[in-house]
Homo-oligomer: A and B are copies of this chain.
Amino acid sequence: MSEIVTAAMMVIGDEILSGRTKDRNIGHLADILTAVGIDLKEVRIVPDEEDEIAAAVNALRSRYTYVFTSGGIGPTHDDITADSIAKAFGVPCEHDAAALALLGAHYAKRAMEFTDARKRMARMPRGAVHIDNPVSVAPGFVIGNVHVMAGVPSIFQAMLDNVIPTLRTGTKLLSATVQCPHGEGVIGGPLGDIQKANPETIIGSYPKYGDGKFWTELVVRSRSPEALEVARSAVEAMVAGLSKSG
């Protein structure tokens, strides 16, 4: 039997919603989760508002195996992710002793002042477990099934590398791509028939447009290699047949 493991992502930050910063973490997380056999089922981008963050994480953590967040864990007043997640879990947000020690040692070694702002980065919901940050020390954290990570892409990626080996992964969704020189209007009918005849697969059609012409990428997905191959062959035969008659 295939095991299905699901996930959601929550991107936190006014700067993404204003267009000022273009998100680069959604695509990266999607790629990595697909590679390890976890189905990303939903993404929400929410503003820097405590109630919005808390409501969204509660909606997501009850529905999916895992939740991953990016953003809002720095030292400034607009970094409110730790407080918001604590609120969602109904636990206090407090300075974590181990995180304080880690950050304190880091700044001491560099003869930098351990300011109150920097101490903010050691705050997390009571009971949270660190996610190591090899780039800039200040840890992310895990509480329940929620993984809280930085928004800066290089740090998000480094934290995610540390998280992935700790996750339960599912049976990988396999995929096969068939390039199709025809537009969706031509293939839509027969492709729908192939989908109906192959219920163990998910067949997607992705329209491409350029130079005034439409073409498509047809992607067959399945957790069963056998079912994948049957559907892939049917799609290839369909495309070859259309090209011959066209």
* Residues of A near any B CB (own CB < 8 A): 11, 14-23, 26-34, 39-48, 52, 74-79, 107, 112, 115-118, 120-121, 135-136, 151-152, 154-155, 173, 175, 184-189, 191-192, 195-196, 202-209, 214, 219, 221
User: Are B41 and A189 in touch, CB under 8 angstroms?
Assistant: no
- Given A186-B117, A192-B77, A204-B15, check contact A42 B41 (CB 8 Å): no
Partner of A17, one of B43, B115, B184, B186: B43
CB distance from A213 to the nearest CB of B (A): 10
B152 x A185 contact (CB < 8 A): no
In the bound assembly, the distance between CA atoms of A75 and B52 in angstroms comes to 36
CB-based nearest B residue for A188: B117
Given A117-B186, A118-B188, A152-B208, 12 new contacts (CB under 8 A)? A15-B206, A17-B30, A18-B30, A19-B27, A19-B32, A43-B43, A112-B185, A115-B185, A116-B189, A117-B185, A117-B192, A120-B188
Closest 9 CB pairs of A and B: A117-B188, A19-B30, A77-B192, A19-B31, A43-B45, A118-B185, A75-B188, A76-B205, A22-B27
The answer to whether B14 and A115 have CB atoms under 8 Å apart is no
Query: Which residue of B is nearest A24, CB measured?
Result: B22
Check A188–B23 contact: CB distance below 8 A.
Answer: no
Which of B41, B77, B184, B196 is in CB contact (< 8 Å) with A74? B184
A40 touches B23 (CB 8 A): no
